[in-house]
Amino acid sequence: MDNILKDEYKNIFLNRPFLDEYEILNRNGNITLSQSERLDDLQYKGFKIIQDKKLYCFTSDAVALANFVKVKKDGLLFDIGSGSGVITILASQKNNCRLAFGMEIQKNLFELSRKNAAINGLSDKIKFVNQPVQMCDKIFKQGVFDTVVCNPPYYKSQDSMKNSVKEISLCRHEESLSLSDMGKAASYLLKFGGDFYTVNKINRMEEVFSSLDKFGFSVKELLLVKPKGDKPFDIFLLKARLNGKKGLILKELTVYNEDGGYTSEGKKAYGID
- Give the integer Cα–Cα distance in Å for 73 and 67: 15
Span 133-143, average pLDDT: 95
CATH of the domain at 206: 3.40.50.150
In a domain, 17, yes or no: no
pLDDT computed for residue 10 by the predictor: 77
pLDDT computed for residue 25 by the predictor: 44
In a domain, 33, yes or no: no
pTM of the complete model: 0.90
In a domain, 25, yes or no: no
The DSSP result for 120-147, as a single string, is TT-TTTEEEE-S-GGGHHHHB-TT-EEE
pLDDT computed for residue 4 by the predictor: 53
In a domain, 95, yes or no: yes
Tell how strand 190-201 and strand 235-242 pair up: antiparallel
- Domain membership of residue 143 as a residue range: 54-269
Distance of CA 74 to the CA centre of its chain: 18
In a domain, 42, yes or no: no
pLDDT computed for residue 27 by the predictor: 46
pLDDT in tens, 33-48: 788 888 999 999 999 9
- Give the integer Cα–Cα distance in Å for 114 and 116: 5
pLDDT in tens, 82-97: 999 999 999 999 999 9
The DSSP result for the chain, as a single string, is --HHHHHHHHTTBS-HHHHHHHHHHTS-------TTEEEEE-SSTT-EEEEETTSPPP-HHHHHHHHH----TT-EEEEET-TTSHHHHHHHHHTT-SEEEEE-S-HHHHHHHHHHHHHTT-TTTEEEE-S-GGGHHHHB-TT-EEEEEE---SB-TTSSPPPSSHHHHHHHBTTS--HHHHHHHHHHHEEEEEEEEEEEEGGGHHHHHHHHHHTTEEEEEEEEEESSTTS---EEEEEEEETPPS--EEEEEE-B-TTSSBPHHHHHHTT--
Q: Is the dihedral of CA 129, 208, 68, 184 positive or negative?
A: negative
Nearest to 251 by CA among 227, 221, 271, 226: 221
Percent of the chain with pLDDT over 70: 85
Number of domains in the chain: 1
Determine how many CB atoms are found less than 10 A away from the CB of residue 8: 15
In a domain, 1, yes or no: no
pLDDT computed for residue 8 by the predictor: 75
Determine how many CB atoms are found less than 10 A away from the CB of residue 82: 28
In a domain, 180, yes or no: yes
In a domain, 214, yes or no: yes
pLDDT in tens, 174-212: 677 999 999 999 999 999 999 999 999 999 999 999 999
How many angstroms separate the Cα of 214 from the Cα of each of 51, 62, 177, 180, 185?
35, 25, 17, 9, 12
**Does the pLDDT at position 123 exceed 80?**
yes
**Does the pLDDT at position 26 exceed 50?**
no
List phi, psi (to 5°) of 171: -80, -20
